[in-house]
Structure 1
Amino acid sequence: METTKIIIADDHTLFINGLQLLLREEPGIEVIAIANNGKELISLIIQQQPDLVLLDINMPLMNGLDAVHQIKQTFSAIKVIMLSTYHEDHLIERAKQYGANGYLLKNSNKSELMKTISLVMSGKTCFPYRLPRAENTFNNSDAFLRPFNLTKREIEIVELIKDGLSNHQMAEKLFLSIFTIETHRKNVMQKLQLKSPAALIKFLMKGEP
């Protein structure tokens, strides 16, 4: 049996230790290195030439999405499975666009982990099933926004504003730049014909102009 050489890239020690214990029991699998951030991962890949990278989507210095993008541009044969706590459409879609071979939620069990590794190493892809959604999807409490023709991304921003998140927190959650978040907020305010952030909050809380 040919051995699959794996690098685990994650910045949470307990998660890494647990993953190593699971993989250590499996024949034909060898964890050859651990990376704690994206930049360290790229360096280790150059040195170690793994067959597969298990890559956390949210890491310091270089996040997992940027890392998989760089890996696939330089080492296209290396398989990459993204590890994430987020089951969100835009992250799954971006992982696909950047060349990831799979996307696995961190609350998955060992059977799901091994099935994903097996599928990816056999040349297939493995991503969570996503229910098709209409472009403008509002819950009942936000139905008043429907006439304003907000995009799917603007609806996401609105929901996060209502949850009290700052621009920085929204940028981290959605893996977008602060500038992009600010641009979306401005577009929302323009569509709603509001002049200030305070007016936006008041409008969203009241559900009326």
Structure 2
Amino acid sequence: MIRLMIADDHNVVRSGLHAILNSQPGWEVVAEAKDGKHAVELAAETQPDVAILDYQLPIMNGIAATREIRALQPQTEVLIFTAHESELLIRELLEAGARGYLLKSDARRFLIAAVEALARHEPFFTGRVSEALLNAYLSNVPSRGDDLTHCERGVVQLIAEGRTNKEAAQLLGINLKTVETHRAAAMRKIKATSSTNLIRYAIRNKLVEP
């Protein structure tokens, strides 16, 4: 039996994945979430073998959710299922603990194989995730925006989504002053002079949808 969790904010994507995965003999979708925070909570409750997460999740993105799930449920493998492909994003997700990365455009050919690999605790990456990107990660080659911390990146994402500093503090579970500190540090590091610069950075680095 392979127990699975799906986290995606689009109902159509979740229902499609559910139908495909549940049709496999011995597989069961035990939980579905539409945001990152709920995904972390459901992973703790249901303890799936494989969690399939979209990167662009509301409230808590795929990077933060992966990190939390892997910390709380190290036996649960995380497969990132996303439309985004960038060196920076792949590096961040690998560092957070994801062991699989599947582009939505490759799902028809590779979804089953990806889940089977992760259920065996083996990594899975399609050919479109090039060797150059993986080599860059493994050799710690610097990439654009690498100097932002995870907390700074989370604040930038929320600001780019239109959240106020106060709303970001509530969503991240930190105080307002800490958000302001992270925001100021991020702006200094990327040489941003306004919120518009932060939004452009977030879009360029796939932290938010354009």
Shift of 1:182: 2.6
Normalised by the size of structure 2, how large is the TM-score? 0.65
Alignment of 1:19-34 (within 5 A): 19-34=17-32
User: Is the Cα–Cα contact under 8 Å of residues 171 and 178 in structure 1 kept in the other structure?
Assistant: no
- Which among 182, 187, 190 is matched to residue 187 of structure 2? 182
Cα distance between partner residues in 2 of 1:38 and 1:93: 19
Alignment of 1:109-120 (within 5 A): 109-120=107-118
Match of 1:153 in 2: 144
Shift of 1:81: 0.4
Q: Is 1:11 aligned to residue 9 of structure 2?
A: yes
Cα distance between partner residues in 2 of 1:152 and 1:125: 23
Residues 56-102 of structure 1: per-residue CA shift (max 9 Å, x gap): 11111111110110111121111110111111111111111111110
Cα distance between partner residues in 1 of 2:9 and 2:32: 10
User: Is the Cα–Cα contact under 8 Å of residues 56 and 84 in structure 1 kept in the other structure?
Assistant: yes
Match of 2:177 in 1: none
Greater length-normalized contact order (CA 8 Å, ≥ 6 residues apart): 2
Cα distance between partner residues in 2 of 1:48 and 1:168: 29
Gaps of 5+ in 2: 137-141, 146-155, 162-181, 198-210
Match of 1:50 in 2: 48
Match of 1:60 in 2: 58
Paired residue total = 156
Q: Which runs of at least 4 in structure 1 moved beyond 6 Å after TM superposition?
A: 167-170
Shift of 1:37: 0.8
RMSD between superposed Cα atoms in Å: 2.9
Residues 119-162 of structure 1: per-residue CA shift (max 9 Å, x gap): 111121012432538x9xxxxxxxxxxxxxxx8417xxxxxxxx
Normalised by the size of structure 1, how large is the TM-score? 0.65
Identity %: 28
Please identify the structure whose Cα radius of gyration is greater: 1
The more displaced of 4-13 and 15-24 is 15-24
